[in-house]
Structure 1
């Protein structure tokens, strides 16, 4: 049956801005990059250290994502980190705005939210292991 998450796919409005955000600011490694002429679309495969991936797509005229109030569907992407406070400070030094750190009421672990260039909610969650 299911073993682990392989990838999450994200559609962006400005490919170069989002590529910079995910590769340069968040530090994800590029696995492959393709321009699909027939679709006028980029597909960028990005890797996290554990082998999971993010596929970044650009499509002309993609509608905006409804966020507030939250719509049905994927709520946010959460990334496990060793130290939420340190990661928050690192991203803020790169010009990324993050919310205040909160504590998960069930696990006691710290977490913080921020957004990608298109407003997709992202979360840093301090891993328990």
Structure 2
């Protein structure tokens, strides 16, 4: 029935800051950008090389997302990468705080966490 994840939707508090983060810092490509006046909301469609997408939304006065302690619901968004250590260095060179690299006890794969401008946990998972 299900084929793959098509997109993940993210609501941000500062559209310009998050747009810059996802496009310039992480390098996602813009598919479309729309301002919906009736909702005072932007919708930015971003795409990764495999075709999967992120929908970035802005809404006035959206409540903050509880992250710590971890709340029920979506825990984090993970991106596949070829080399976690190289990506960690690149993100840190752009001023991001990146946690120490860890190894998945079950798969033996390396992974690392960092956060978007609103504190949404993002993971890089080495393929």
Shorter-chain TM-score: which interval? over 0.9
**Alpha carbon RMSD of aligned pairs, Å?**
0.3
What TM-score, normalized to structure 2? 0.99
The equivalent of 2:112 in structure 1 is 112
Moved over 6 A (4+): none
What TM-score, normalized to structure 1? 0.98
1:67-89 deviations in Å (ceiling 9; x for gaps) = 11111100000000000000010
The equivalent of 2:5 in structure 1 is 5
Unmatched runs of 5 consecutive residues or more in structure 1? none
The alignment partner of 1:69 has SS state of coil
Distance 1:65 1:124 in 2: 21
The equivalent of 2:86 in structure 1 is 86
The alignment partner of 2:57 has SS state of strand
Unmatched runs of 5 consecutive residues or more in structure 2? none
Distance 2:58 2:87 in 1: 27
The equivalent of 1:49 in structure 2 is 49
